[in-house]
Amino acid sequence: MELILEGVFTAFRLVFSGDADVWAITRLSLTVSGAATLIALILGIPLGIALAMTRFPGRAIVVALVNTGMGLPPVVVGLFISILLWRSGPLGFLNLIYTPAAMVIAQVVIAFPIVAGLTMAAFQTLNPKLRLQLLGIGASRPQLLWLLCKEAQLPLLAAVMAGFGGVISEVGSVLMVGGNIKGQTRVLTTATVLETSMGNFGIAIALGVILLTLAFGVNFILTRIQQREQIRWPRPS
């Protein structure tokens, strides 16, 4: 119990004293996971829309793959990305292993199926007649997509939250492809593992508290947006 209190106090001390190491680690966590989520959205939303709105041979397989990918174990992703990026691997010439860029790549692989799967689900819940109506009033194809996206924006925000939440909190892949190098690739999760194994439980708990606060903050903002745009049900009179 004392340990938890000590950790919480340490968290406050580290955050408010502006400890340079902790800030750098926090910033890198946000940047890597933010960039990964952004790229996952750019790739995942179009795929999700395509899967929801088109029929093609082999679609069932792709959908099953995306759904499996939503639960991709980060360590497996880490292992494969490592093997690809190692100097002895097929992409070794890129010199990306043990860099933040490698961590972004791994996290994109983790977040992309989550975003694609939830986007697909969001579009499938739209009323199919809406599409016909929009086409009927003369919407062009890009206009149609744009309007449907607007219609599905609340579930799409859920996709953003799930994607970001999935990658900011994962440790398996960033540890393997980033190497947890101090000042270069150390993020909140890998630093927590390290400090725990070094017996610095206070600092480990502090890092955990910062991670939780971050995840909460981002989700709080997104939830506010989501709920504000929510349809207001009329009160029963």
- Of residues 75 and 225, the one with the C-beta less far from other proteins: 225
- Of residues 68 and 95, the one with the C-beta less far from other proteins: 95
Query: Residues 16 to 55: which contact other proteins by CB under 8 A?
Result: 27-28, 30-31, 34-35, 38
- Of residues 138 and 199, the one with the C-beta less far from other proteins: 199
What is the SS3 string spanning the chain? CHHHHHHHHHHHHHHHCCCHHHHHHHHHHHHHHHHHHHHHHHHHHHHHHHHHHCCCCCHHHHHHHHHHHCCCCHHHHHHHHHHHHCCCCCCHHHCCCCCHHHHHHHHHHHHHHHHHHHHHHHHHCCCHHHHHHHHHCCCCHHHHHHHHHHHCHHHHHHHHHHHHHHHHCCCHHHHHHHCCCCCCCCCHHHHHHHHHHCCCHHHHHHHHHHHHHHHHHHHHHHHHHHHHHCCCCCCCC
Determine, following the binding rule CB under 8 A, whether residue 10 of this chain makes contact with other proteins.
Answer: no
* Binding-site string for other proteins from residue 138 to residue 157, where x marks contact by CB under 8 A and - marks none: ------------x--x---x
Determine, following the binding rule CB under 8 A, whether residue 99 of this chain makes contact with other proteins.
Answer: yes
Determine, following the binding rule CB under 8 A, whether residue 87 of this chain makes contact with other proteins.
Answer: yes
Shortest Cβ 235–other proteins spacing (Å): 24
Q: Name the segment binding other proteins (CB under 8 A); options: 58-66, 86-94, 106-114, 206-214.
A: 86-94
Shortest Cβ 207–other proteins spacing (Å): 16
| Residue numbers at the binding site for other proteins (CB under 8 A) | 27-28, 30-31, 34-35, 38, 86-88, 92, 94-101, 150, 153, 157, 179-182, 184, 196-199, 201, 221-222, 224-225, 228-229
